[in-house]
Amino acid sequence: MSYFVIGYFALLIGGACVAAYYKQQSALIVLFALTLVSFLLGIIGGAVVLWGIAVAAGALAFCAMTAYSFREFLILLLPKRLAKQVATAPLTASFGMFVILIYMIAGIFAPWIAPFGEAEVVGSAFAPPDDTLLLGGDQLGRDMFSRLIFGARNTVGLALLATTLAFIAGAATGLLAATKGGIFDQLMGRFADIIMSIPALIFALLILSIFGTNLTVIVIVVAVIYSPRVFRLTRAVAGNVVVMDYIEAAKLRGEGDWYLIRREILPNSTAPLVAEFGLEFCFVFLLIAGLSFLGLGIQPPTADWGSMVRENATLISFGVITPLIPAAAIALLTVAVNFVVDWMLFRSSGLKEKL
Amino acid sequence: MTEQNQKNVLLSIRDLHIEGYTGEEWLPIIKGVNLTLHRGEVLGLIGESGAGKSTIGAAAMGFARDGTRISSGSIVFDGIDLTTASREDKRALRGARIAYVAQSAAASFNPAHKIIDQHVEAPVQYRIKKRSEARKDAIELYEKLRLPNPEEIGFRYPHQVSGGQLQRAMTAMAMACRPDLIIFDEPTTALDVTTQIEVLAAIRDIVDEFNTAAIYITHDLAVVAQMADTIKVLLNGEEVEEASTEEMLDHPKEDYTKSLWAVRSFKKPQKARPKDSEPLISVRGVDAAYGGGLKVLDDVSFDIHAGMTVAVVGESGSGKSTAARVMTGLLPPRKGEILFKGEVLPPRYRDRSKDQLRQMQMIYQMADTALNPQVRISEIIGRPAQFYSGLKGTRLKQRVDELLDLIEMEPSQYYNRYPPELSGGQKQRIGIARALAAEPSFIICDEVTSALDQLVAEGILKLLDRLQRDLGLAYMFITHDLATVRAIADEVVVMQNGQVVEQGPKEEMFKPPHHPYTDLLLSSVPEMDPNWLTRLLEERGVDNVGEAAEV
C-alpha cells in the first residue's frame, strides 16, 4: 500500500473525528460518507481513483477558496451599500461573479491577452500543445488559446447585444401593455403568442437563410425570438405593481404613462427583470453557439466558440479533448451566470418576505 | 376567581423568552412573560401590533414560527413541558388537546375540500371518533354554534358560506376533539361589527358549555371585555399587568393600560353646516356598477360642505369605497353626476383638469401599498408639490420640510428614508402629507385608521382634526368603525347594499329614533361594559343577531 493511500484515509478519518468532536454534524456526515465510498472505490479502481477524488476535492476547495477571497475582496473594495449586499452572497454566487469578471477581462482586453491574432496561422494543423501554443492548434494551425480569448469577445459580446435588444423591446412593450391595458395589451399579447408559437431554431434558420448571415441580422433575429418571453414576464410583474394604491394615487394626480413606468413601476420590478436577464442571456448565448455550430452564426475566420466546437469535432475520435475546451468555456459561463441569477432570485423573494 | 384558582392549572408559562432573526442577529421578541391558565378559564391577551400576542399564542402550543426560536423558559401544558417535548409528542397534542382558531377563516380553510371533511380530519386522524360519528358530532356542533341549516352547511365548500359563518365553522372545527385549550387569534378582527356579534356569542357559549380553557388574542378592548375572565396587557414583549376583567376595566393600575382605555375618549365638537352656502362636493343620484354586473351603487346622493367631515358608514359590500371611486373618477358612474363647487366634474379622471385633480386627494387604508417602497420620502411628498405648483430646488425642499413639520415628523431624520423603514403610523402620516402637498380642499379618507393600533389611530385622527382646523379641509371619512365616526364626524351617511339609508348631523344620528339599519349598526358596536353582550343578546334574542337580524 502506498503512502498516498494511507495518508488519504488518515486525513479523512482524522477530519471526521475532529468534526465529530466539535459537533459539526454535516461535516462529519460528508467526511465519513466519503471515507466509506473511498473504501469501495479504492477496492474497485485502486489508488488512481483515490487520486481522482483527491484532485476533485482539491479543485472544489480551490474554487471555494477563490470564491471566498473574491467576495471578501469585493466587500473591502465596493462602497458600503453594495458591500452589504455582496456580504449576503453565497460562495456559489461569488464564484459566478468571479468567472464572469474573468470572461469580461478576457473579452475586453482580448488583443492584448491573446499571444496571436484570431485568424493568424502559426503552426501545423492540429498541433499538440507546447510552450508557444498553450492549447495546441486548430484544423488550420491557428492558436487555440488565442481563438478562445477572442471568442469570449465575439460570442459573449454578440449574446449580450442580442439579449439587451430583446430586453429593451420586451420590457418596454410589457410595461406599456401593463400600464395601458385594453386593446394595446391584447394586441401585443397575441403578437407575442404568434412569435412564440414558431420553434425558435427553425425561425432563426429561416430568417438567416433569407437575409444572409451577417451580424446585424443575427442580433435582430435573436432579439425578436427572445423578446416575447421578456414581454410576458415584464407584463406579469408590472401587472402586480399596477394594481397598488400608489399607482392609483399617481394616476389620480394626473401623471402620464411615461412617469408611471419610469418612477413607479420600473423600480418595483427590477429584481425579477435582472434575474430574467441573466437566464435569457444563457439561452441566447446557447442559441448563438448553436447557430454557429450549424454554420449560420458568426462566420469564419472570426473566432467563435460554437463554430470552434464544430471545426475541431473530428479530433474527438482521436481521444483529444481540444474540441471540448470551447464547449467547456460555454458551459462554465452558463453555470456561472446561473449561480449569480439564483442568488438574485433568492434575494428578491427574500426581500418580499421582509416587507 | 378563588374558585378557579382551586382548580388545577392547565397551562403554565414561566419566564418565556422568544427571539426572532432579523438582519443578522437574534433579537428578543418576548422578554420573560409568565402566564397561568386554569381549566375552563378564558384569558384575554391584548396589546398593540408587535406586542407579541400572537407569538405567545403560538408558543402555548409549543410552536415557534419560522425565523423565531424559544430561547429560554418553560411552557408546561398539563404536566408536559412543550419546550423539551419531542415533535411527535407535540403533534399528538395539537388539534386534539390544543386547538387554534386563526384570524382569517377564509384563508385557513382549504378551498378545495368541503367544510365537514376538514372538520372530521382531526378526530379521525387521532382515532378519537369514527368518520360517521365525527360527522354527526360536527352537525351537532354547527347547531350549537347557531349556524343556519346545520344539517347541510358542512357539505358546502368554504367559498359558499359567509365570513361570519366560516369563522363559526372554524370554531366548531377547533372543538371537534373537545380540546382542553383553544387559542383564538383575533377571530373577529376581519369581520363587520354586525357579524362580529354572532361569532362572539357563539364562541362564548361553546367555550362555557364544554368548559374549555381559551386564550383570546385581540387588540379590541371592548371585545376582550365580553370574552375573558382575566386580561393580560402586553407591550413590546413584556407584561404590563394582569387582572380580572372587572378590575382591569374599572381600576387599571399602569399608565399604559390607562392610556389604552382612554383612547376612545377623543371627540371633537360637531360643526353645523354653514347656512345657505353651496356644497363643496355633491353627489347627485349616482348609479354605478363594475363592468356590466349588478348595481353596486343605487341612486346615491349626498353633499359635503367646505371644512366639514362627513363619515360614510356601512358594512363591507355596502358601496362605501365604490362611492369614493366614482367621486375620484376611477369608476365612471352609469347615471348621475358629481358636482364640485357647483361645476359638473367629468366622469373620468383622465378628462379632469389638473386643478380639478389637485382639489380632491385620497388617503388610503393600507399605507404599505399606498406608498411606493422604492421611492424616498422626500420624493413621495415632493412630487405632488413639484407636479402641481412647479416648485424646484431649495423651494421644493422647503415645502417638503414644511409638510413633514405639519405631520409632526422631524424633516432631517426622515427626508431620505424609504417607506419600508417606517412604522405603520408613520407611513400613514406620509400618506397624509402626500395628500396635503397638493394643497387640496377635499380629502377622501378610506378606512385610514382601521389597519392601525388604537393609540396610533388616535394620533392620526387628532392630526387630521388639527389639519382640518388649520387648513379648512373637507373630509369624506369612509369607515366601518363607529367609534371613529363618533370621534371625528360632523355629518354621517349610512349606506346599505349600495343605497343611502339615512343621513344627517352626527348628534341626530346617534340619538334615537334611528332607521332600523342604523340602529342595528349602532347597537352592534361592542362596549367596554363586560355585560354588554349578554344584555344585547337578551334584548334581541339569540337568534336575532348578525346576518339573521331583522331589519
Q: Which of A180, A253, A270 to mutate to test the interface with B (most CBs of B within 10 A)?
A: A253
Q: Are residues A79 and A156 in the same domain?
A: no
Q: Are residues A250 and A152 in the same domain?
A: yes
Under a CB-based contact definition with an 8 Å cutoff, are residues B272 and B307 in contact? no
The whole-angstrom distance between B369's CA and the closest CA on chain A is 5
The whole-angstrom distance between A67's CA and the closest CA on chain B is 21
**Sheet (strand B343-344) strand order:** B295-304, B281-289, B335-340, B343-344
Q: DSSP states of B462-507 as a string? A: HHHHHHHHHH--EEEEEES-HHHHHHH-SEEEEEETTEEEEEEEHH
Residue A117 belongs to some domain of the structure: no
Beta bridge partners of B27: B20
Residue A347 touches partner B, C-beta closer than 8 Å: no
**Looking at the predicted structure, is the pLDDT value of residue B466 above 70?**
yes
**Looking at the predicted structure, is the pLDDT value of residue A351 above 50?**
no
Nearest to A261 by CA among A275, A246, A242, A245: A242
* Predicted-complex ipTM score: 0.76
Q: Are residues A199 and A277 in the same domain?
A: yes
The pLDDT of residue A352: 40
Question: Considering chain B, what percentage of its residues have pLDDT values greater than 90?
Answer: 7
Residue A138 belongs to some domain of the structure: no
Average pLDDT, chain A: 86
Confidence of residue B544 (pLDDT cuts 50, 70, 90): low
The pLDDT of residue A354: 39
**Looking at the predicted structure, is the pLDDT value of residue A350 above 70?**
no
Under a CB-based contact definition with an 8 Å cutoff, are residues A146 and A118 in contact? yes
> How far is residue A108's CA from residue A113's CA, in Å, rounded to a whole number?
9
Nearest to B526 by CA among B200, B76, B89: B200
Nearest-by-Cβ selection for B372 from A253, A264, A354: A264
A183-192, A311-320, B40-49, B181-190: which has the highest mean pLDDT? A183-192
Nearest-by-Cβ selection for A268 from B368, B374, B384: B374
Q: What is the pLDDT of residues B141-197, one digit of tens each?
A: 898 888 888 888 888 888 888 878 888 888 888 888 888 899 998 888 777 788 888
Q: Are residues A75 and A182 in the same domain?
A: no
Q: Are residues A178 and A51 in the same domain?
A: no
Residue A131 belongs to some domain of the structure: no
The pLDDT of residue A95: 93
Domain termination site, one of A88, A120, A153: A88
Q: What is the pLDDT of residues A13-62, one digit of tens each?
A: 999 999 988 888 888 998 889 899 988 988 888 888 888 888 998 999 99
Q: Are residues A226 and A343 in the same domain?
A: yes
Domains of chain B: 2-109+179-264 (3.40.50.300), 281-374+432-512 (3.40.50.300)
Task: Compute the residue count for chain A.
Answer: 355
> How far is residue B291's CA from residue A107's CA, in Å, rounded to a whole number?
56
**Residue labelled with grid coordinates 465596493:** A78
Q: What is the pLDDT of residues A239-291, one digit of tens each?
A: 888 888 899 899 888 888 889 898 889 888 888 888 888 888 888 888 888 88
The pLDDT of residue A78: 86
What domain range includes position A67?
3-88
The pLDDT of residue B5: 52
Domain termination site, one of A42, A65, A88: A88
Are the Cβ atoms of B420 and A248 closer than 8 angstroms?
A: no
DSSP state of A142: B
Residue A125 belongs to some domain of the structure: no
The whole-angstrom distance between B156's CA and the closest CA on chain A is 32
**Residue labelled with grid coordinates 420600473:** A266
Q: Are residues A311 and A218 in the same domain?
A: yes
Residue A133 belongs to some domain of the structure: no
> How far is residue B354's CA from residue B196's CA, in Å, rounded to a whole number?
43
The whole-angstrom distance between B354's CA and the closest CA on chain A is 7
Task: Compute the residue count for chain B.
Answer: 551
A132, HSE (Cβ side, Cα atoms, 13 Å): 10
Domain termination site, one of A42, A69, A88: A88
Instruction: Give the A:B interface size as CB pairs under 8 Å.
Output: 53
Find chain A residues with C-beta within 8 A of B388's C-beta.
253
Joined grid coordinates for residue B21: 432573526
Provide the number of structural domains found in chain A.
2
Residue A244 belongs to some domain of the structure: yes
Residue window 262-291, chain A: list those with CB within 8 Å of chain B: 263-264, 267-268
What is the arithmetic mean of pLDDT over A324-344? Answer: 88
Q: Are residues A348 and A258 in the same domain?
A: yes
Under a CB-based contact definition with an 8 Å cutoff, are residues B117 and B109 in contact? no
